[in-house]
Amino acid sequence: MPDDTGEIAADRQAPLVAVDYEDPDGYWWRVRVPQGCEDASMGIPIGPPDLTALGLPPAIQRRLHNQLHARGLLTRRDLNGRMREVVAAVQATYRVDAQAVTALYV
């Protein structure tokens, strides 16, 4: 399509921006989308990574995934010097289960 000078701008692209969104399964993601894009689900994933290889039950996997997202632990670079936050994410993931168990004793 011609621009205001009459030239056709074939290579003009909107800059990519990082956005967060929750998918239908309750997972929070950070993705890159063209500025102004309304459908974040079509974005390029930044993180967190796929945790399937850990073999966790689905609810635990989702909680850990969302804990990592909430702490900004999305890429390998984000982990540098932040092992305590990774441990805190794992602990927070299981804290819900510990609370459910202790509630049974009331």
Indicate whether 96 pLDDT > 60. yes
Find the domain containing 65 and state its range.
16-103
Is 62 part of any domain?
yes
Q: Are strands 16-22 and 28-34 parallel, antiparallel or unpaired?
A: antiparallel
Domain count, the chain: 1
In 1-106, which ranges are continuous DSSP H helix? 58-70, 76-79, 83-103
Is the CA virtual torsion 76, 82, 83, 84 positive or negative? negative
Is 1 part of any domain?
no
Q: pLDDT class for 2, splitting at 50, 70, 90?
A: very low
pLDDT recorded at residue 4 = 52
Is 4 part of any domain?
no
Is 3 part of any domain?
no
Is 64 part of any domain?
yes
Q: What is the mean pLDDT of residues 51-67?
A: 97
Q: List Cα–Cα distances, 40 to 34, 54, 60, 71, in angstroms.
A: 9, 26, 24, 20
Is 51 part of any domain?
yes
Is 9 part of any domain?
no
